Structure 1
Amino acid sequence: MNMRRMLFIVIPLLFILNNAVSFFIFQSGRTVQQSYNMMLDRVLLYKQIDEKTRENLRAVNVYIMDRSPGSLRDFERQNVELKALQASLSAQQPVAAAELAARSYRHMLDTFISQEKSVLDALGSRTPLAYAPFYAEAETTASFIQEQAYQLIDQELSYYQPFYRKILTQTDLMNHWGVAVFVANTAISLVFAYWISLRITKPIQGLVRTAEQISEGNLEAVPPQMGAHDEFRILADAFEQMQENLKQLIQKEKEGLEKDRLVKELELAVLQNQINPHFLFNSLNVLSKLALIEGAEKTSDLTVSLSNLLRYNLRKLDRPVPLRDEVEHAKEYFIIQQARFRERIRFETDVDEAGLDVLVPVLTLQPILENVFVHAIEGMEEGAVIRLAVKCQSDETWVSISDNGAGMTEEVRDSLLHYDEKPPKDGEEGKTGHSTGLGTRNVFKRLELFYDRKDLVRIESAPGMGTTVVLRIPRSGKEENHVSPVDRR
């Protein structure tokens, strides 16, 4: 039995048992209370009738003495109240033992009321003391009513006495049973609570110990055994599956590391067969000095720029650099390109020095400039202008690279911005007159990975209207982040 089903059975059973005991105790007390209220109501009614008969006699006596309208009204009011009590008595059913006495009691009330009426009628006659016999009879009837009321009360108490004793005995028994059931219920609840908590905490503790062993590196730790149909069985199976997946993942990671090691060894072997970069830098410096000595200053400057460009390009691609370095690198790159295009191009800069301290991925600007030279202004005979601008905003630095070249279609613009999609094939590029700009794509993707944002690039272009690429560089965070070294092509 799983935990959920067990709780659905045990808790309702305990609840029903408690409610049953409470209901029986309540019902017994309610029966006693109803019987007591019924008997007490009749006893009080007998008492009220007795008092009201005496008040009626006093009202009649007062009216006989003064014969005033106020005394008459007082008597009539007392008489109405007595008749209302008589109606209440007639509506009640007396006990069987007092039924005959109750009937006689009601007849005496009728007799008393008629005698009072006879007294009033006799007062209206001319004979002065005609009312006296009727008044004497009324007094006698009133005394009989009082005696009969006491007798009825005694009979009521005598009738209900054994009944009350029986109910009280049953109530005491029920109270004892209630206490016994309460104690048993409490003990059963404690036992079930301990058993349920043990069934919950013991498997969890076993899984916790297994997790601790795994965290310490022991991947062969065995999870505790669970019930066949228990929820913890599912949890243990999932735990074992996770453990197996972890083993497979570690094995794959080991295989990947081994492959990486082999690749690094192969790369090292290839690099050993290449020219030492320091030797190349030193050679370029020697050529620069030699050109300067021979009076070829432009050749010397161009050689220095090429040396700086090569040194910058061989930096680690997974480390950010200040935007200042990227701007200087872009200037060096333009110097080399201007040696090729000469007076056909002009390079303009508008740089806000306050925005050059932000960090950007290395080689962010050069691929965009390459794209400008290859696809925008290469076919222009003269008047080509490339503009690099850096401006500070409230929380960003905007870098824009614009040209007045051939521009691009909306299709090519979308392909550059949606760099996650598969680029067009080479045959398709030739139809538009532009390549897909893989280097530019990689710049945009590295910016997204570096800043974890996708709204950093905007391209404004139209065929024959030039192109403007705007990069929005956040000015906060990203101090020592690594950058994904995406290949430049």
Structure 2
Amino acid sequence: MNTRRMLFIVIPLLFILNNAVSFFVFQSGRTVQQSYNTMLDRVLLYKQIDEKTRENLRAINVHIMDRSPQSLKTLQSEASELKRLQASFAGERAIASTELTARSYRHMLDAFIVQEQHVMDALGSRAPLAYAAAYAEAESTAAFIQEEAYQLIDQELSYYQPIYRSILVQTEVMNHWGVAVFVLNTLISVLFAYWISLRINRPIQQLVQTAEQISGGNLQVDPPRMAAHDEFRTLSEAFVQMQEHLKLLIRKEKEGLEKDRLVKELELAVLQNQINPHFLFNSLNVLSKLALLEGAEKTSDLTVSMSNLLRYNLRRLDRPVPLRDEVEHAREYFTIQQARFRERIRFETDIDEEGLDVLVPVLTLQPILENVFVHAIEGMEEGAIIRLSVRRTPDEVQVSVSDNGLGMSEDIREALLHYNEESPRQDQGEGHSTGLGTRNVFKRLELFYDRQDMVSIESSPGRGTTVLIRIPAPGKEDVHVPFTDRR
């Protein structure tokens, strides 16, 4: 459960608990207030009926004395008000203990109203003192109404007294529960706040310590592992990914620096062989023209091939070239070597033109061919065959250099492929014209394409050797551009 969901659950629960206690206390007080209001309204109604009954008697007396229209109007108004109170009392629902008394009280009130009407009718007749008997009855009924009102009030108070006591006890209990819940809520809130602070603060401190160590250069530190599936686990996993990305970037930077160092070393080696290149080119061109004038066409062609070979070897080594240039350079190199070995060797090519546009590091094929001449076929008297093949597939371009020479042992094959280790045998011999070894070529290829499966070698003693280079097809390679070639 993440922190946000946990807060959304716990805080509303505490809020609901507090509101529940407050509601129960409020409801208890409201019940007491409603009961009190009901009783007080009924007592006030009894009091109003009693007072209105006496006011009606006084109004009858006043009208008997002066017989004026004004006193008659006052009497009628008081009678109407008493009827209204009678209707209110009739609508009241009496409690069980006062039902009999309330019924008697209602009948007496009805009787008083009827007797009052008789008095008013008698006062309107011509017979003297005709109202006396009706007035006496009304006066007597009014006295009974007053006594019954006091009795009803006593019964109402007696009935509600235990209810009030019970409600007061319940209210007291709810007050104690309210205090207990308040204390419990306070304690839970404090504990919950402390737990939340630990849950949030501890992972943050661990992540801060990890970030400080990473910023200090310690990329081997283990980021904190969060057990809960929450935001901090996501943040910890992000730290792990960031750390892995930093390691990958550092590794790529190291590889780039290694490649730059290798290129600088190669450039230095080439520089050592650059003895006034313009003088050499001019001299070779003069020799070529002189041989042509003397009729030595083969010597002229060989001199031109040597000039082209030298010019190609003096290129910048940090710039890639199309595979087409490497193939042409390999043909020039073989032309020179064939002048040395003559009919002892044969150079065969199987070139797929669609695969010649891929980019490769400069001087990729010549060192491999040199290794073939130096170590594979130099000792053969005849029948030596060197084959250069280029094949295009949907995913890659395959370049193979094969020979039918002496072959090599498994130890030497492994040493050539694992170029970071010391080799039991040098892969370059005397007369190496470029100063570049096959292991150096393999390493440059893997650095250039940022892949570890670029080269494979098939060989066994006495059965020749095949070097296969797999170059990613255009659009599929992830070429690492050296620092010296960035703009």
- TM-score (normalised: structure 2): 0.53
Give the superposition deviation at 1:3: 3.2
Give the superposition deviation at 1:8: 4.2
Q: Deviations over 1:319-371 (max 9, x none)?
A: xxxxxxxxxxxxxxxxxxxxxxxxxxxxxxxxxxxxxxxxxxxxxxxxxxxxx
Give the superposition deviation at 1:261: 4.5
Between the aligned partners of 1:159 and 1:74, the Cα distance in structure 2 is 38
Q: What is residue 164 of structure 1 aligned with on the other side?
A: 164
Between the aligned partners of 2:112 and 2:89, the Cα distance in structure 1 is 15
Aligned partner of 2:236: which letter?
Answer: A
Mapping of residues 130-209 of structure 1, within 5 Å: 130-209=130-209
Between the aligned partners of 1:262 and 1:230, the Cα distance in structure 2 is 48
Q: What is residue 96 of structure 1 aligned with on the other side?
A: 96
Q: Deviations over 1:153-207 (max 9, x none)?
A: 1110011001100110011011101110111121112111211221111011100
Aligned partner of 1:42: which letter?
Answer: R
Describe the shift of the 1:271–1:49 C-alpha distance in structure 2 as closer, same or farther (beyond 3 A).
farther
Between the aligned partners of 1:95 and 1:230, the Cα distance in structure 2 is 63
Q: What is residue 432 of structure 2 aligned with on the other side?
A: none
Between the aligned partners of 1:275 and 1:31, the Cα distance in structure 2 is 115
Give the superposition deviation at 1:121: 0.9
Between the aligned partners of 1:66 and 1:273, the Cα distance in structure 2 is 154
Mapping of residues 86-485 of structure 1, within 5 Å: 86-263=86-263
Q: What is residue 46 of structure 2 aligned with on the other side?
A: 46
Q: What is residue 29 of structure 1 aligned with on the other side?
A: 29
Q: Please state whether the residue corresponding to 1:219 is helix, strand or coil.
A: coil
Between the aligned partners of 1:275 and 1:113, the Cα distance in structure 2 is 146
Q: What is residue 56 of structure 1 aligned with on the other side?
A: 56
Q: What is residue 394 of structure 1 aligned with on the other side?
A: none
CA RMSD of aligned residues (A): 2.6
Give the superposition deviation at 1:255: 2.1
Describe the shift of the 1:97–1:265 C-alpha distance in structure 2 as closer, same or farther (beyond 3 A).
same
Give the superposition deviation at 1:228: 4.7
Q: What is residue 19 of structure 2 aligned with on the other side?
A: 19
Between the aligned partners of 1:272 and 1:116, the Cα distance in structure 2 is 146
Give the superposition deviation at 1:25: 1.5
Between the aligned partners of 2:486 and 2:252, the Cα distance in structure 1 is 23
Aligned partner of 2:253: which letter?
Answer: E
Aligned partner of 2:152: which letter?
Answer: L
Between the aligned partners of 2:4 and 2:196, the Cα distance in structure 1 is 11
Q: Deviations over 1:291-323 (max 9, x none)?
A: xxxxxxxxxxxxxxxxxxxxxxxxxxxxxxxxx
Describe the shift of the 1:486–1:244 C-alpha distance in structure 2 as closer, same or farther (beyond 3 A).
closer
Describe the shift of the 1:270–1:111 C-alpha distance in structure 2 as closer, same or farther (beyond 3 A).
same
Aligned partner of 1:23: which letter?
Answer: F
Give the superposition deviation at 1:103: 0.8
Give the superposition deviation at 1:14: 2.1
Aligned partner of 1:161: which letter?
Answer: Q
Describe the shift of the 1:261–1:106 C-alpha distance in structure 2 as closer, same or farther (beyond 3 A).
same
Q: Please state whether the residue corresponding to 1:245 is helix, strand or coil.
A: helix
Aligned partner of 1:132: which letter?
Answer: A
Q: What is residue 67 of structure 2 aligned with on the other side?
A: 67
Describe the shift of the 1:97–1:191 C-alpha distance in structure 2 as closer, same or farther (beyond 3 A).
same
Q: Please state whether the residue corresponding to 2:227 is helix, strand or coil.
A: coil
Give the superposition deviation at 1:4: 4.3
Between the aligned partners of 2:152 and 2:274, the Cα distance in structure 1 is 131
Between the aligned partners of 1:246 and 1:20, the Cα distance in structure 2 is 55
Q: Deviations over 1:77-121 (max 9, x none)?
A: 111111111111111111211111111111111111111111111
Describe the shift of the 1:128–1:248 C-alpha distance in structure 2 as closer, same or farther (beyond 3 A).
same
Describe the shift of the 1:109–1:275 C-alpha distance in structure 2 as closer, same or farther (beyond 3 A).
farther
Q: Please state whether the residue corresponding to 1:89 is helix, strand or coil.
A: helix
Q: Deviations over 1:31-54 (max 9, x none)?
A: 111111111110010011111111
Q: Deviations over 1:122-143 (max 9, x none)?
A: 1122222211222222222112
Between the aligned partners of 2:89 and 2:272, the Cα distance in structure 1 is 125
Q: What is residue 477 of structure 2 aligned with on the other side?
A: none
Aligned partner of 1:15: which letter?
Answer: F
Between the aligned partners of 1:128 and 1:144, the Cα distance in structure 2 is 28
Between the aligned partners of 1:14 and 1:256, the Cα distance in structure 2 is 60
Give the superposition deviation at 1:231: 3.4
**Identical aligned residues as a percent:** 76
Between the aligned partners of 2:49 and 2:269, the Cα distance in structure 1 is 127
Between the aligned partners of 1:195 and 1:135, the Cα distance in structure 2 is 85
Between the aligned partners of 2:267 and 2:52, the Cα distance in structure 1 is 124
Give the superposition deviation at 1:274: 9.6
Instruction: Answer with 1 or 2: which has the greater Rg.
Output: 2
Describe the shift of the 1:66–1:273 C-alpha distance in structure 2 as closer, same or farther (beyond 3 A).
farther
Aligned partner of 1:98: which letter?
Answer: T
Between the aligned partners of 2:69 and 2:82, the Cα distance in structure 1 is 20
Between the aligned partners of 1:114 and 1:9, the Cα distance in structure 2 is 70
Between the aligned partners of 1:66 and 1:272, the Cα distance in structure 2 is 153
Aligned partner of 1:123: which letter?
Answer: L
Describe the shift of the 1:122–1:275 C-alpha distance in structure 2 as closer, same or farther (beyond 3 A).
farther
Q: Please state whether the residue corresponding to 1:234 is helix, strand or coil.
A: helix
Give the superposition deviation at 1:19: 2.6
Give the superposition deviation at 1:485: 9.9
Describe the shift of the 1:485–1:236 C-alpha distance in structure 2 as closer, same or farther (beyond 3 A).
closer
Aligned partner of 2:167: which letter?
Answer: I
Between the aligned partners of 1:261 and 1:67, the Cα distance in structure 2 is 137
Between the aligned partners of 1:228 and 1:62, the Cα distance in structure 2 is 93
Between the aligned partners of 1:34 and 1:178, the Cα distance in structure 2 is 22
Q: What is residue 83 of structure 1 aligned with on the other side?
A: 83
Give the superposition deviation at 1:260: 3.6
Give the superposition deviation at 1:264: 5.6
Between the aligned partners of 1:5 and 1:113, the Cα distance in structure 2 is 72
How many residues matched? 280
Moved over 4 A (4+): 261-276, 484-487
